[in-house]
Structure 1
Amino acid sequence: MIQKEKKLLMHVGPVNILDRVLYAGLKNNVGFTSQEFVEAFQFSLKKTRELFQADNTYQPFLIPGGGTSAMESVTSLLKEGEKVLVVTNGVFGDRWINIFRKYPVKVNVLSAEPGYYVEPETVEKEVKKDKYTLVTFTHVETSTGVRQPIKDSVKAVRDYVDLVVVDGVSSVGAEEVKAKDWRVDVYLTASQKALGVPPGLGILVLSERAMERLKDEKSIAGYYLDLRNWLPVMNSMENGKASYFSTPPVHTILMLSEALKIIIDEEGLESRIKRHEKVASAIRAGIEGMGLEIVAKKPEAYSNTVTGVVVKKVNAGNVLSEIVSEGVELAPGVHPKLQGKYFRIGHMGWVTENDAIVTIASIERVLNKLGEEIRLGEGIKATQLYLAK
């Protein structure tokens, strides 16, 4: 019973949250016009630029919802009949297809098999053949843990398309992100992933080129997620003045402000990325040490935030239900081509080296109990050896 109460959440989002971040939101009677809230919003907008490695030429947005609301708000930049290329490595890259097909634009798709990413050269060849207004990439595909080489991918298409959009929902705050240097027009994320904040916010930065598109009133966007409606609020809040379009998630923004203070001013982005890389690598060392296969097929495609683990004998769903009794919660595999064959480990946010050790030890015990053929004890040994380097 005690073990179940003391749970380690190694999920792909939401994730474990620092008490300090949670406490920042445990406040009563905070209105969206209060000075306390306006200051938290103002601070968060300024720090969002730093988070994405953008400068003052980029406009930050904090909008209610999550990663999907941030994604759909990109329709604010499109007009009827324009052509969009979706580059997808899995389920959440495919979400762009489902979003854009609700609107009067033309959608083409380049997709990869599970475990792989679409090569930058393949994307470059496609954008040279046809005129695309916008191309979307997914930095880390949450369904497989595959990391797209964003710098090279953007470079390959930058001179041939008007707008480059990157979904950084499972990367921002844990992977290298350089919106300005890489000339990305829209970089987006959500509060509940590597930033280690509860769900509730879609977070974006837009380049000058993207902001110019916002001036065109012929946009296909709807109402709630039209960034034109949110822009006056962002401008006013950044200037320290309360503003309103629709009620913001007040307490989530209070928590985001605290998290960004820790991420940027205390831990530092570079140190945070290195921590994620170390924990992720230690977990993968453990998985491979016990003799299991990782969904991502190439080491350069391994991400700092998600690892998909393939099982050969047992059903992945049974692993998930059994490991909860060990006090650890993992994420199910959601890619339809690998259904029942894999599970996912989320290692992002406030994740530590000790979390890696607990996770690998728990996975070993559960798989051994269920009858999966593993090298019992070799996984935790490999994790420890990696961390001891």
Structure 2
Amino acid sequence: MTTTAPAVRPANACFSSGPCAKRPGWTPTVLRQAALGRSHRAKLPKAKLKLAIDLTREVLGVPSDYRIGITPASDTGAFEMAMWSMLGARGVDVLAWESFGEGWVADIAKELKLKDARTLKAPYGELPDLSQVSFDNDVVFTWNGTTSGVRVPDADWIPADRKGLTLCDATSAAFAQALDWPKLDVTTFSWQKALGGEAGHGIIILSPRAAERLETHKPSWPLPKVFRLTKGGKLIEGIFEGETINTPSMLCVEDYIDALQWAKSFAGLKALIARADANAKAIADWVDRTPWVDFLARVPETRSNTSVCLKVVDPAIAALSADGQAAFAKALAAFLEKEKVAFDIGSYRDAPAGLRIWCGTTIEAADVKALTHWLDYAFAIEKSKLAKAA
């Protein structure tokens, strides 16, 4: 263990898992062209909203017959919109292996009160048995568990000839992991995770099958205005052309356009994914040579390359009570924040005690590598404090 402060600090200390780091080189000057003080229904603001949709399609490679809309209330709003508008037509399998998946379980069971619903759960660090999913039902799942660091390895477990719809919360996967569009009927994410945009807006992407469901299924419960994607039994096509359901922040829209144009400057989506993979590899290489830490995700193939969740496995720390382990992990995060080398890297409040480091596409690998040395330094300092107090 080293008790000497590392010589190199991360150039950007923002490793929060949402809102996430701005793109490299970002400055407030990129917002100068924002259509401020204008109605979002006017020609210029509407064109910017349409540009954000078109760039999303281009960068993510979304099929031309899929619809893309901008929603209120971040990824949560987008996913709630999908569940409240589409579920109830058939049975539903809902998968949960972390906090947000548990939230969708609660909504389906306690709010929508769907009787023909089945829950497949796994503890933090693992996936449910995907072979047990019934695709005669609608299937609700997160692609990447933001609070557990566990993701589905691919979409091979989803059949092409499924009868139900797949509803995928992809908020910490978009722009960093390869989403298999033919296997996804509803996909949602938020700007503030995917590309470091500003909070408050979500994206919903609908396959033709999802659009058909919206036009043929009427939920048995009332729908709030902000959830309504149809009128008179027909899809409101304007939503997917830049006519948002509620008033968007044109400042946030401008910021998202800037992030998308930055993403477009790379050689395709694979290059963006490679950035996240390189960041995650920097963490993995460090974990391999560091005895006091390990991944929360048990299986390497399911480890996230964005929201990387870690646990402290040093025997002296593992021997502490659960409260003691949580206090130690919080002390590590607090030490690094005080040193201004890593902000907001404590584990999610519902997750096991540990650290969570965002490694998405807006992060630089050099900063991740610099952080690992500070993690070792923080561990040495905080463990020595425990030894002295014993």
For the aligned pair, the TM-score class normalised by the smaller chain equals 0.7 to 0.9
Query: Which of 145, 170, 178 is residue 168 of structure 1 equivalent to?
Result: 170
* CA distance 1:45–1:336, change in 2 (3 Å): closer
Amino acid at match of 1:320: A
Q: Which residue of 2 aligns with 1:145?
A: 149
- In the alignment, structure 1 residue 370 sits paired with structure 2 residue 376: no
Conservation of the 8 A alpha-carbon contact between 1:169 and 1:193:
yes
Conservation of the 8 A alpha-carbon contact between 1:64 and 1:202:
yes
Conservation of the 8 A alpha-carbon contact between 2:69 and 2:244:
no
Q: Which residue of 1 aligns with 2:198?
A: 198
Conservation of the 8 A alpha-carbon contact between 2:171 and 2:189:
yes
- C-alpha deviation, 1:278, in angstroms: 0.8
Alpha-carbon deviations, 1:28-68, whole Å to 9, x = none?
Answer: 43431344322221111122223443222101011121111
SS in 2 for 1:363: helix
Query: Which of 14, 22, 27 is residue 17 of structure 1 equivalent to?
Result: 22
Q: Which residue of 2 aligns with 1:121?
A: 131
Distance 1:25 1:147 in 2: 34
* CA distance 1:372–1:200, change in 2 (3 Å): farther
Distance 1:21 1:56 in 2: 33
Distance 1:85 1:198 in 2: 32
Equivalent runs, 1:184-195 vs 2, <5 Å: 184-195=184-195
Distance 1:21 1:35 in 2: 27
Q: Which residue of 2 aligns with 1:301?
A: 302
Q: Which residue of 1 aligns with 2:346?
A: 332
Conservation of the 8 A alpha-carbon contact between 2:74 and 2:202:
yes
Q: Which residue of 1 aligns with 2:121?
A: 111
* CA distance 1:103–1:94, change in 2 (3 Å): same
Total equivalences in the alignment? 354
* RMSD across aligned positions (CA): 2.7
Alpha-carbon deviations, 1:109-133, whole Å to 9, x = none?
Answer: 101122111232132xxx17xx52x
Q: Which residue of 1 aligns with 2:49?
A: 41
SS in 1 for 2:155: helix
Q: Which residue of 2 aligns with 1:381?
A: none
Distance 2:308 2:88 in 1: 38
* CA distance 1:235–1:334, change in 2 (3 Å): closer
SS in 1 for 2:167: strand
Distance 2:245 2:146 in 1: 31
Equivalent runs, 1:175-324 vs 2, <5 Å: 175-180=177-182, 183-216=183-216, 218-219=218-219, 220=221, 221-228=223-230, 231-237=236-242, 243=243, 245-266=245-266, 268-291=268-291, 292-312=293-313, 313=317, 315-324=328-337
* CA distance 1:36–1:117, change in 2 (3 Å): same
Distance 2:241 2:290 in 1: 54
* CA distance 1:79–1:169, change in 2 (3 Å): closer
* CA distance 1:86–1:224, change in 2 (3 Å): same
Equivalent runs, 1:67-86 vs 2, <5 Å: 67-78=75-86, 80=88, 82-86=90-94
SS in 1 for 2:225: coil
Conservation of the 8 A alpha-carbon contact between 1:284 and 1:307:
no
* CA distance 1:228–1:307, change in 2 (3 Å): same
Distance 2:98 2:74 in 1: 19
SS in 1 for 2:48: helix
SS in 2 for 1:161: coil
* CA distance 1:16–1:176, change in 2 (3 Å): same
What stretches of structure 1 of length at least 5 have no aligned partner? 238-242, 374-389
Alpha-carbon deviations, 1:89-144, whole Å to 9, x = none?
Answer: 11111121122231142332101122111232132xxx17xx52x10121110111
What stretches of structure 2 of length at least 5 have no aligned partner? 1-7, 318-324, 386-390
Q: What TM-score, normalized to structure 2?
A: 0.83
* CA distance 1:150–1:345, change in 2 (3 Å): same
Amino acid at match of 1:71: F
Distance 2:244 2:191 in 1: 21
Conservation of the 8 A alpha-carbon contact between 1:139 and 1:148:
yes
Distance 1:310 1:244 in 2: 41
Amino acid at match of 1:49: R
* CA distance 1:207–1:214, change in 2 (3 Å): same
Conservation of the 8 A alpha-carbon contact between 1:90 and 1:141:
yes
